[in-house]
Amino acid sequence: MGLDHRLSAEHEELRRTVAAFARDVIAPKIGDHYERHEFPYEIVREMGRMGLFGLPFPEEYGGMGGDYLALCLALEEIARVDSSVAITLEAAVSLGAMPLYRFGTEEQKREWLPRLCTGEMLGAFGLTEPDVGSDAGGTRTTAVRDGGDWVINGTKSFITNSGTDITGVVTVTAVTGRKPDGAPLISSILVPSGTPGFTVAPGYSKVGWCASDTHELSFSDVRVPAAHLLGEEGRGYAQFLRILDEGRIAIAALATGLAQGCLDESLDYAAARTAFGRPIGANQAIQFKLADMEMRAHTARLAWRDAAARLMAGEPFKRQAAIAKLYSSESAVTNAREATQIHGGYGFMNEYPVARMWRDSKILEIGEGTSEVQRMLIARDLGLPA
């Protein structure tokens, strides 16, 4: 399949609209939220009014009737300015709403999706546990049927959008039985916020993404109706693998935005900053850094768009998603480091966006599948032994 990187008129209009919003609304405000570790509710409300949370969902569920490319374009443009806001959108859509859309019953979709699509409510995805990261098959949280309810016990960690004032539901993965060989049967269950026994711990003190919402969650004899099962019982593992495959494309777009934002800031700084009587951008050492930063951002963009195109065409995309996530995240880390170096001492000051980008970049090599996991997935798809 050949890749045409040119955007349609509709996609280009969306990209420009979100870019202007990021520049004019997010950029002037987010620094204060970031330093105070505060969730930017007013920005999120405006994003909801713009329809960003409903971009890839059908209009019948309150969405905008767009596609996955539209979501990723928005993520890239927002991440050029700030990653906390970008990850709030990415997690709300890819992890909060998408499992409901992909696997929910018609009743579940109509109950939850309209509010999730407008940003009135945020959803979260409870997968990771304190002792279970990349080995998601080792899930220890349990859900046991008791009459017409599921009774859930366990702990989830590093869960984005799980403790805001507008968080409404968390999809929790839990062991609901055992296969004949003793392997766990994992299912996904919807747990509304405020359910008795469902406790949200205080927010983490994080290196980056300081204006996003991240908590540990605990479940102590939490009861939810049996009808809150999402998809088929025992199919939760396969479900979240599909969700993570898609989500890697979105994270790749976000990482590309950060990489591009580092270049944007560095180009402006290299033109304005003088040393020894001329702009530092006239120095070949700086020019080569900037050229390499452009190369990484450009290639990362092609990688995630290729993966998105395959997803939307119904073609296999797992390998391309892993490649895009791996390359773009490592490019973001490298571009953030180089941007900080170009800015010199100012790059170490939090008043400059590149300092925030530097702090935000590292998690991209960890979240939604570490770089090591991406290499493992690529190797397996090449036919190498598991």
Which domains can be identified in the chain, with CATH numbers? 9-122 (1.10.540.10), 124-233 (2.40.110.10), 238-381 (1.20.140.10)
Mean pLDDT of 2-22: 89
Residue 1: per-residue pLDDT: 46
Dihedral sign computed on CA atoms, order 70, 76, 79, 83: positive
The band of 146, judged by pLDDT with boundaries at 50, 70 and 90, is very high
Whether the pLDDT of residue 302 is over 90: the answer is yes
Q: Which residues are catalytic?
A: 368
Whether the pLDDT of residue 136 is over 90: the answer is no
Q: What is the pLDDT of residues 94-118, one digit of tens each?
A: 999 999 999 999 999 999 999 999 9
CA distance 12 to 359: 30
Residue 6: per-residue pLDDT: 85
CA distance 48 to 71: 13
Q: What is the pLDDT of residues 149-196, one digit of tens each?
A: 999 999 999 999 999 999 999 999 999 999 999 889 999 999 999 999
The band of 3, judged by pLDDT with boundaries at 50, 70 and 90, is low
Q: What is the pLDDT of residues 39-97, one digit of tens each?
A: 999 999 999 999 999 999 999 999 999 999 999 999 999 999 999 999 999 999 999 99
C-beta of residue 296 within 8 angstroms of C-beta of residue 263? no
The band of 386, judged by pLDDT with boundaries at 50, 70 and 90, is confident
pTM for the full predicted model: 0.96
Whether the pLDDT of residue 2 is over 60: the answer is no
Which residue type sits at 211?
Answer: A
CA distance 117 to 217: 24
C-beta of residue 106 within 8 angstroms of C-beta of residue 115? no
Residue 131: per-residue pLDDT: 85
Residue 259: per-residue pLDDT: 98
The band of 135, judged by pLDDT with boundaries at 50, 70 and 90, is confident
The band of 379, judged by pLDDT with boundaries at 50, 70 and 90, is very high
- List Cβ neighbours of 343 (8 Å cut-off, separation of 6 or more): 265, 266, 269, 352, 354
Q: For the ranges 1-15, 48-62, 306-320, which has the lowest average pLDDT?
A: 1-15
Mean pLDDT of 239-246: 93
Residue 254: per-residue pLDDT: 98
